[in-house]
Amino acid sequence: MTTPRVEIDLGKITQNARCLVRRLGARGISVTGVTKAVSGHPDVAKAMLDGGIADLVDARINNIIRMREAGIHCPISMIRAPMWHDVENVIRCCHASYNTEVDTILKLGSAARQQGTEHDVILLVEMGDMRDGIMPEDLNEVASLVVATPGVTLKGIAANFACMGNVAPTAGDMAMLSRLADQVEGECGPYVALVSAGGSANLAWALGNGATGRINNLRLGEAILLGIDPVSGQSIDGLHTDAFALFAEVIEARLKPNSMSITSSAPNYGKLALVSTEDQLNRAVLAVGRQDTDASGLMLPSGIEYVGASSDHTVVDMGESDLSVGSEMKMGMNYSALMRAMSAPDVEKVVHRMLPVIGTVKDTRPQPLLKLI
């Protein structure tokens, strides 16, 4: 197989989804799968659905179109406020969208009427993350406008946490969001069916012992894909953290110093040489760079350390490793590295699922299903 490539274990994604659906379902909270980190990869989306997830969200309409063309018919919502030139496709491909701007909601209503359908609107509330969201004091007014606009229906409210500020929500934040849902109902009349309290950063609260109030949904991406709590960076108990791996080829391997200076080795002939100023390190250069992934977010094998990266190269200190030119290095990825690798056109994507070995129930082996570039 070629490199660089991302190998994806669909079985582990399905198992992560199933575990989270079960654990959160016991608390009355549904799970929406977030596919934006994998660029709407249809096989990853299907693996989430196989784990019991009923609906998906993505931030880019082209990702959603990709999933629709691959035969995914479940409800899919646009999680980023729609851009105006995408409105018709959002109505055509999405059951709902998350919104903050009145003018955009009016355009959605107009496009929905033209297509002879109704589009669900979820109002995103600013709860301190300071990215996108309606200020709480303005929520009732915007909700009233949604109720009065033909072509759109108020489905619910939602909030973001730890997207910009990396601060996990508190029980007080969740109680406030529940109160806002009550206030919208009291002011506007329709039942607020969905109260979506954020994403993977909410899991510590959601799986705790406190009351959940009106909160009945979480939108999960990182937890399902990587098994990681994005706030603490720690693995989540019972989840796989190795469903994705990046492979890169070693294109140079030799001893080099940390720094060098240029000097003349033969003044009469003007020859120049690099002279080491520090102890030598066992370095390798990998054929993957910042165009392909977030190199600083790679998780390297034990004993190997990250040195630096440029657009097309990543340099590592091999330590005692005996990597040679032409060999491959397998690396884990954090969310940022995964997102960039999955969207990079020069990184091959190879999916596997765990299939039972003939004659046994427990034993499994990875089998390649499909390559998408």
Q: What was the pLDDT predicted at 164? A: 86
The pLDDT value given to residue 265: 57
Q: Using CA of residue 216, residue 221, residue 227, residue 232, what is the dihedral sign?
A: negative
Q: Stretch 63-69: mean pLDDT, rounded? A: 98
Structure-token pair, residue 325 = 């030119």
The pLDDT-based confidence of 332 (bands split at 50, 70, 90) is very high
Per-residue confidence band for 228, with pLDDT thresholds at 50, 70 and 90: very high
The helix-helix angle for 10-25 and 42-50 (nearest 10°) equals 40
Would the pLDDT of 252 be above 90? yes
pLDDT in tens, 213-223: 999 999 999 99
pLDDT at 369 over 70: no
Residue 258 has pLDDT above 50, yes or no: yes
Residue 261 has pLDDT above 70, yes or no: no
**pLDDT at 185 exceeding the cut of 90:** yes
Share of the chain above pLDDT 90, in %: 83
Structure confidence at residue 358 (pLDDT):
38
240 contact partners, CB below 8 Å, separation of at least 6: 9, 12, 13, 15, 16, 227
* pLDDT for 268 beyond 80: no
pLDDT digits (tens, 9 = 90+) for 1-10: 899 999 999 9
Q: What pLDDT is attached to residue 322?
A: 87
Question: Which of 46, 92, 39, 97 minimizes the C-alpha distance to 66?
Answer: 39
Q: Check pLDDT > 90 for residue 240.
A: yes
Q: Is the pLDDT of residue 338 over 60?
A: yes
- Output the average pLDDT for the chain: 91
Given a cut of 50, whether residue 366 has pLDDT beyond it is: no
Whether the predicted pLDDT of 295 surpasses 80: yes
Helix/strand number for the chain, H first, E second: 10, 19
Answer whether the bond into residue 42 is a cis peptide, omega within 30°: no
Tell me how many degrees the CA angle 4-6-9 measures, rounded to the nearest 5.
155
At residue 257, the pLDDT reads 82
b/e per residue 153-178 (b: at least 16 CB within 10 A):
bbbbbbbbbbeeeeebbeeebbbbbb
Confidence bin at 279 (pLDDT 50/70/90): confident
**122 vs 62, 100, 101, 142, 353, CA distance in Å?**
20, 9, 11, 11, 34
As given in the structure block, the two tokens for residue 130 are 């300071």
Specify the pLDDT at position 280. Answer: 82
> How far is residue 70's CA from residue 40's CA, in Å, rounded to a whole number?
10
pLDDT (average), residues 37-65: 98
pLDDT band at 272 (very low <50, low <70, confident <90, very high): low
Residue 281: CB atoms within 10 Å: 17
61: CB partners within 8 A, 6+ apart: 78, 82, 86, 89, 90, 93, 94
User: For 110-168, what is each residue's pLDDT tens digit?
Assistant: 999 999 999 999 999 999 988 999 999 999 999 999 999 999 999 999 999 988 877 78
How far is the C-alpha of 244 from the C-alpha of 62, rounded, in Å? 23
Q: What is the structure's pLDDT at 281?
A: 86
